[in-house]
């Protein structure tokens, strides 16, 4: 069965973790429109940094699906491990005991348990721990989006600020490959998974990537042309050691969005097949050149 992007009515009880976040708000609206019986716990009810399992247990009764969209950017590796790895595993294990049938985990493209960047490493370890819980009665779907476009998203707003500058200096002149995905497609994909997964495997990992691969420089040029109506953008190539010095200085005033870790991820690129994502949406995802017209 292939899921459709046209949301159908449902009677499922769906618990959303992180429903007030950038992506979570969009998912909440779509599921509410589909008639989902939503449970929207506040942070004080389920605090990933300090779990109270007894209070969480009562929230899980009668729940069919859980979508976990909780994530943080931090330089505290212990905190990242708790929020992205240990807490989701503990809650999912309790959910499995309570009869929840499907756990959907919002991760990140490139997440891997062995990754040297703490953010994606902690995501990867969390994904692996959740996958170990999967069986015929407890499905685990791991969603790994690429760079997400959407006004209000932290990374998107950073790129929009960069697009305002007429000259940028980047390693390899911004020639690293990315495959941006629109927040509408990410939210619709998560919604379709919650309403009825198109995938029958107990554990499934789905890259959420857009229709087009581009370079970082091309992406910023698109934003500059469409938002600021400025066609000229000069991107200078700088050595990596110079870029690291600049990033270290900027990291003091950008709330963890610009860091040596983010520079590392940039140089690795961010692309993957969107075949499963297309199947889930029932159509091709948007390409980056059509983002602004949404």
Residue 191: count other Cβ atoms within 10 Å of its Cβ.
26
Q: Give the three-class secondary structure for 280.
A: helix
| CATH number of the domain encompassing residue 195 | 3.40.50.720
Does a structural domain hold residue 191? yes
Collect contacts of 114-119 with beta carbons under 8 A, ≥24 apart. 116/264, 117/261, 117/264, 117/265, 118/77, 118/80, 118/81, 118/261, 119/73, 119/74, 119/80, 119/84, 119/261
pLDDT for the residue numbered 108: 96
CA angle, 279 then 284 then 288, to 5°: 135
Which stretch of 91-100, 160-169, 260-269, 271-280 has the lowest confidence by average pLDDT?
A: 260-269
Spatial separation of the C-alpha atoms in residues 212 and 231, rounded to whole Å: 20
Q: What is the residue range of 72's domain?
A: 13-146+182-209+272-286
pLDDT for the residue numbered 2: 41
Identify the band that residue 203 occupies on the pLDDT scale cut at 50, 70 and 90: very high
pLDDT for the residue numbered 256: 60
Identify the band that residue 259 occupies on the pLDDT scale cut at 50, 70 and 90: confident
User: Euclidean distance between the first and final Cα of the chain, in Å?
Assistant: 28
Which stretch of 5-9, 220-224, 226-230, 263-267 has the lowest confidence by average pLDDT?
A: 5-9
* Segment 251-260 mean pLDDT: 67
Identify the band that residue 1 occupies on the pLDDT scale cut at 50, 70 and 90: very low
* Segment 4-14 mean pLDDT: 68
Residue keyed to tokens 């495959």:
179
Does a structural domain hold residue 140? yes
Please give the tally of structural domains in the chain: 1
pLDDT for the residue numbered 111: 96
Enter the tokens of residue 186: 């990410």
* Segment 147-161 mean pLDDT: 92
pLDDT tens-digit profile of 83-119?
Answer: 999 999 999 999 999 999 999 999 999 999 999 999 9
DSSP string covering 87-123, please? HHHHHHHHHHHTT--EEEEE--TT--TT-SSHHHHHH
Q: Would residue 275 be called left, alpha or beta, if left means φ above 0 and alpha means ψ between -120 and 50 degrees?
A: alpha
Does a structural domain hold residue 124? yes
Which stretch of 35-49, 178-192, 193-207 has the lowest confidence by average pLDDT?
A: 193-207
Secondary structure element (H or E) that encloses residue 163, with its range? helix 154-163
Enter the tokens of residue 223: 């934003």
The percent of residues in the chain predicted with pLDDT above 70, rounded, is 94
197 contacts 190 by C-beta, under 8 angstroms: no
Does a structural domain hold residue 65? yes
Does a structural domain hold residue 281? yes
pLDDT tens-digit profile of 16-45?
Answer: 999 999 999 999 999 999 998 999 998 889
Does a structural domain hold residue 92? yes
The percent of residues in the chain predicted with pLDDT above 90, rounded, is 76
Q: Would residue 269 be called left, alpha or beta, if left means φ above 0 and alpha means ψ between -120 and 50 degrees?
A: left
C-alpha of 82 from chain center: 18
What is the torsional sign of CA 215, 220, 225, 227?
A: positive
């Amino acid at each position: 069965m292939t899921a459709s992007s046209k949301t159908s009515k449902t009677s499922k009880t769906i618990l959303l973790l992180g429903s007030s976040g950038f992506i979570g708000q969009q998912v909440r609206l779509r599921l509410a429109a589909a008639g989902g019986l939503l449970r929207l716990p506040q942070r004080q009810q389920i605090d990933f940094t300090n779990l109270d399992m007894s209070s969480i247990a009562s929230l899980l009764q009668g729940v069919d699906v859980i979508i976990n969209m909780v994530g943080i950017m931090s330089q505290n590796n212990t905190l990242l491990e708790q929020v992205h790895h240990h807490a989701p595993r503990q809650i999912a294990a309790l959910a499995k005991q309570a009869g929840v049938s499907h756990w959907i985990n919002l991760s990140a493209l490139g997440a891997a348990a062995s990754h040297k960047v703490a953010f994606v490493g902690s995501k990867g370890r969390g994904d692996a721990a959740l996958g170990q819980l999967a069986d015929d009665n407890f499905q685990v779907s791991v969603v790994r989006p690429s760079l997400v476009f959407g006004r209000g998203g932290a990374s998107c707003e950073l790129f929009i600020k960069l697009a305002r500058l007429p000259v940028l200096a980047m390693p390899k002149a911004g020639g690293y490959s990315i495959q941006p995905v629109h927040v509408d497609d990410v939210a619709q994909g998560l919604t379709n998974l919650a309403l009825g997964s198109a995938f029958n495997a107990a554990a499934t990992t789905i890259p959420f990537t857009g229709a087009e691969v581009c370079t970082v420089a091309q992406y910023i040029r698109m934003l500059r042309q469409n938002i600021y109506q400025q066609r000229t953008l000069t991107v200078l190539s700088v050595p990596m050691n110079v870029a690291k010095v600049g990033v270290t200085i900027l990291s003091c005033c950008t709330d963890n969005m610009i860091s040596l870790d983010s520079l590392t991820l940039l140089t690795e690129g961010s692309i993957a097949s969107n075949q499963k994502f297309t199947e889930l949406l029932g159509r091709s995802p948007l390409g980056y050149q059509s983002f602004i017209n949404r």
